[in-house]
Structure 1
């Protein structure tokens, strides 16, 4: 048998796209827990997973509390599956162990000071914030929604035994904005159960969280990312229905309105088949954003999402991973995306961290007659999209969402990124072409990659010394490598053209001399880029398309051909293809095979454009390209590889701004690319 999940007796009548109904969600939850419980032989055996070498925790020689944290994280995050299972079947067993009894005992042990498996109290550790707080939030979010699973089974004495630990962590120091939600959930649970809490602290956390609402249903979280959905919407909506509506109705209304607004664009984040995009940090959490689909049917207005489409996307996102053999490592979800990969991880993750990806299983808390379960699956707006592409602009978080009917893919185009991190700073993220890590030798996928050839950089001189007399670090060795943008700015959409800016260097190193002004036109299966360099000194530049993984050792097939108007390079692997067409501003097109940078395979191919400008004072220049993708094996047609009919480059635009263009597409559409006052429109 395949060493991955397979649907048994799919219900093609109810779910013609995935075969998944409520029974199959239950089957999948059991399957995942059976793998996780393979080494659990009795109710007394704590749930632990093998340490994964690399950057994740606990590191060798870590203090004991880091091991307690990893164990508690494994226990709590597997309860993301176990809690909903117990809710629908209190007698459910995994490997002959009754889940309800197992989690009741193990959580009691974790919260009882003095027990060998207990977690430390805050005063036992240096005054700081710890992963324990995060896991308390996850546990009590589930118990707010489904308290009967284990909490109501405890005796009053057992509850009192645990109360010191729960209360102290609930009241303890927290960090940043989304973490306040963990304290909110924990404190609210205690208050709901009749225990005394610091009400002023709870209200303070609530006001802080509400203050981060930015618009379009999004909340600020370092930069903007999936936490805005999974925590600020999923966790807080559960809090609303179970506590907030009664005790803090005004704050609950803020959360309710933001959740309702989010639902307007939620479906645009997913591919036609439900694929989720590999984007932002905590990539190993994968489908946790799909938890917003059942949440839609916990809102006051339950008509915001088509229920058949919601379940279709929710199911598709889970099947994207659980049906793949490489997804599992040590019998549990790997620390990666499709397979175990180190480069995309953060040091706050441990072996049990990925189980939060099963947040969508809160759908099992919905009643059997919920539309989420009874509606027939459908493809929503994709059914009408045809070969067209739909673009959704979220001004507040600076995100543009593109749904390509021609390829069934969805894209995230980020615009408010203030540091150089491939999790955030790519030009585009695509559901079916997961991003690749940066290549310091150039040719990075879906990035502008920059290398200075300024002789002062090459020597390691301070390029500003002649002005200031001061020195700043200018590492000649580091300057030999290509770098990616240090921030991405959102400049709005005007007349159908999306404007952003990639800042390749920040001050004090002449930040205004290292700008690439970005303009893009969405076309079916791709984008036309009309980008303006304002790079003041000698430099090299590359622009890559999506990387293609060498699955099963099959290398990409690369072809290149030119004509009088453009240079073209294509690459293909089974089921996926890319093309890069350079119309203006590039020296050549090429390809590279990358090692250990792709999310799916050890090797991958990237096609890219290259230019080198060695003038002391390079002029501004337009770089005009088309970046295309396909999700089949069909031959590229002449029409597909000729999306642009005419290009008129103007030194001075009619609106009196320098260096723009008028672009006419082959379908007759005409776009004016005018960078007028672009610096004044920037937001981040």
Structure 2
């Protein structure tokens, strides 16, 4: 039997793009929470969902099931004045009482204690969802608990204040716990310190234009919306702290100026970064903007993005047919979208998308007529220099979104290189809403790699990315971004000091001009440029312009496919570098099959000029320093 969420009929008058209303959101939240509760332990402290366990273990995974579904139930209940999934709030109260009992040999439902992130840190993550859920539902849950249960819950939660988080967004989990404890009259110096510390670190991670780095490195991804903006602004709003709202609200507004473009016309968010199995949590920042008023998006646009992304996943198999559980993957199950910390209940951080239900039913978010998504307008380029991202949208392809990455990686300064299994999620030159990236064991898409003569099959990877700038035309008709990196070669490859790659991406309309300058390459070094992973519903081209062996690309197979397709091909160009060389290609990605418009090009060892019909000309000079000059010529 196929599981049904019991969604109401569509309303194509109020919501011409998605057909969805607030009633659909309520039904989706209720149905997803009820489905997960079918796997609860007898006293409700753990939701032991079926599936592969995470590295943290089964007990921690069960806590994750409780905490993350509680967050969805809390948004639903608080936004409806105490109404919510029938009878489930009482079950969460029972689960809290059982979970906070002192662990013992015969107590199979007690929650694991909170420890340092390096020891067994996952319970610290879940403490934030428990605390936020309790804060949102206080009149209907916390205030009705026995004092003994409240005392035990406080003691368990305080473990988050007394242990060391991971050096990134994790510091906002103790902040969230501390905010709840202060809201129920249990604050002290320990809670004040956790809040002050978290906000201080957050300010240090702010890079401008509404974007935070996730820690001290250059990881810019969806954690901006579903963590780095969400927790402090929700804390400020729930506390009624106008000073904090005035401090962090404008940053959210600035973030949504660019982030609002990152949703495809079909509802898909950008596939970039880790934890992508959280899916429609990508809408949390949009919901938060509507809730707080700190948004540049009209209410009908905000609902279009929110309903579009929620419906996108539910229409494409994110819920298992037989039991209605969120699967470990993107649409259906997809191993390459996961991390070692992903367990059966991990996808329920998608609950953060239900923050939209905190917005009252009579708010314009729910009553205004839906409008088109920003990506569905004219073709547009937008450079976001702070994270080093270049956004490219093509309304002619139904709102297809591409982002060219010249600034986001996952290398922590204190830890050296990034984790190998996360390279596909951060190191590629471009990401999109309809394809890629390929799995680590397959040929990488959107990549420039070198192979030395001594090891011809050992291709380099791109790890630490150093931005060199980004800019776009005021009317969005063109944009560019640039960076450089030191190729990282596989173990056993002879040392090659001095090899360096400078890269520039220039976009106009649907075209992507990709230019690389390789310096310090030993004789016999091979160069490989790849394009977009293509499958049945997306078409891509990669055309050589300068420096390559052949006049056309070669199709390489990616049998592990992508999150969007089971099997894919990747176009590739090959060339040879010795000393210094410039390599240029024109790429495109389309849902309609349109190809790129080829420019006339002139190139030397240190520069490249490209001129399109109509007179647009770009000149890229690499020495004495990078300059990109754009002009219209007769």
Is the TM value for this pair above 0.5?
yes
Match of 1:317 among 281, 294, 309: 309
> Are 2:487 and 1:498 equivalent residues in the alignment?
no
1:466-519 alpha-carbon deviations (Å, 9 max, x no partner) = xxxxxxxxxxxxx74323223322111368543222431389976663222212
How far apart are 1:427 and its partner, in Å?
0.8
1:561-588 alpha-carbon deviations (Å, 9 max, x no partner) = xxxxxxxxxxxx2x32111211221123
Query: Which residue of the partner structure matches residue 586 of structure 2?
Result: 626
Query: Which residue of the partner structure matches residue 346 of structure 1?
Result: 339
How far apart are 1:105 and its partner, in Å?
0.7
1:413-443 alpha-carbon deviations (Å, 9 max, x no partner) = 2222345611111111011113112356xx4
Query: Which residue of the partner structure matches residue 271 of structure 2?
Result: 278
Query: Which residue of the partner structure matches residue 556 of structure 2?
Result: 592
1:204-232 alpha-carbon deviations (Å, 9 max, x no partner) = 33322222222112222142222122111
Match of 1:235 among 231, 234, 253: 231
Distance 1:8 1:122, change over 3 A: closer
Please state whether the residue corresponding to 1:487 is helix, strand or coil: coil
> Are 2:277 and 1:305 equivalent residues in the alignment?
no
Whole-Å separation in 1 of the counterparts to 2:71 and 2:120: 23
> Are 2:165 and 1:203 equivalent residues in the alignment?
no
Q: Taking structure 2 as the reference length, what is the TM-score of the superposition?
A: 0.86
How far apart are 1:669 and its partner, in Å?
0.9
Please state whether the residue corresponding to 1:343 is helix, strand or coil: helix
Whole-Å separation in 2 of the counterparts to 1:127 and 1:36: 29
Distance 1:104 1:448, change over 3 A: same
The gaps in structure 2 that reach 5 residues or longer are 412-416, 473-478, 629-634
Distance 1:211 1:39, change over 3 A: closer
Query: Which residue of the partner structure matches residue 610 of structure 2?
Result: 663
Query: Which residue of the partner structure matches residue 530 of structure 1?
Result: 515
How far apart are 1:126 and its partner, in Å?
10
Query: Which residue of the partner structure matches residue 264 of structure 1?
Result: 257
Whole-Å separation in 2 of the counterparts to 1:536 and 1:126: 41
Match of 1:412 among 403, 408, 411: 403
Match of 1:112 among 97, 101, 109: 101
Query: Which residue of the partner structure matches residue 402 of structure 1?
Result: 392
How far apart are 1:5 and its partner, in Å?
6.0
Please state whether the residue corresponding to 1:339 is helix, strand or coil: coil
Q: How many equivalent residue pairs?
A: 595
**Higher alpha-carbon deviation: 397-406 or 175-184:** 397-406
Query: Which residue of the partner structure matches residue 226 of structure 1?
Result: 222
Correspondences of 1:644-683 after superposition (within 5 Å): 644-651=598-605, 659-678=606-625
Query: Which residue of the partner structure matches residue 487 of structure 1?
Result: 464
Match of 1:134 among 112, 125, 130: 125
The gaps in structure 1 that reach 5 residues or longer are 59-65, 459-478, 550-572, 652-658
Radius of gyration: which is bigger? Answer: 1
User: Retained in 1: the 8 A contact 2:546–2:603?
Assistant: no
Query: Which residue of the partner structure matches residue 539 of structure 1?
Result: 525
User: Retained in 2: the 8 A contact 1:237–1:298?
Assistant: no
How far apart are 1:534 and its partner, in Å?
2.0
Distance 1:624 1:149, change over 3 A: farther
Distance 1:5 1:452, change over 3 A: farther
Query: Which residue of the partner structure matches residue 426 of structure 2?
Result: 424
How far apart are 1:154 and its partner, in Å?
1.5
User: Retained in 1: the 8 A contact 2:317–2:331?
Assistant: no
Query: Which residue of the partner structure matches residue 569 of structure 1?
Result: none
Whole-Å separation in 2 of the counterparts to 1:259 and 1:131: 27
Whole-Å separation in 1 of the counterparts to 2:118 and 2:19: 50
How far apart are 1:363 and its partner, in Å?
1.3
Query: Which residue of the partner structure matches residue 393 of structure 1?
Result: 383
How far apart are 1:679 and its partner, in Å?
7.2
Query: Which residue of the partner structure matches residue 467 of structure 1?
Result: none
Distance 1:89 1:608, change over 3 A: same
Whole-Å separation in 1 of the counterparts to 2:47 and 2:354: 20
How far apart are 1:609 and its partner, in Å?
1.3
How far apart are 1:92 and its partner, in Å?
4.5
How far apart are 1:305 and its partner, in Å?
1.8
1:365-385 alpha-carbon deviations (Å, 9 max, x no partner) = 111111211111111545641
Distance 1:627 1:70, change over 3 A: same
Whole-Å separation in 2 of the counterparts to 1:93 and 1:210: 38
Query: Which residue of the partner structure matches residue 32 of structure 1?
Result: 32
Whole-Å separation in 1 of the counterparts to 2:318 and 2:180: 38
User: Retained in 1: the 8 A contact 2:437–2:444?
Assistant: no
1:106-159 alpha-carbon deviations (Å, 9 max, x no partner) = 122112324541124358x99946111111112222333443352233133431
How far apart are 1:185 and its partner, in Å?
0.9
**Higher alpha-carbon deviation: 396-405 or 672-681:** 672-681
Whole-Å separation in 2 of the counterparts to 1:41 and 1:196: 32
Whole-Å separation in 2 of the counterparts to 1:324 and 1:149: 35
User: Retained in 1: the 8 A contact 2:301–2:370?
Assistant: yes
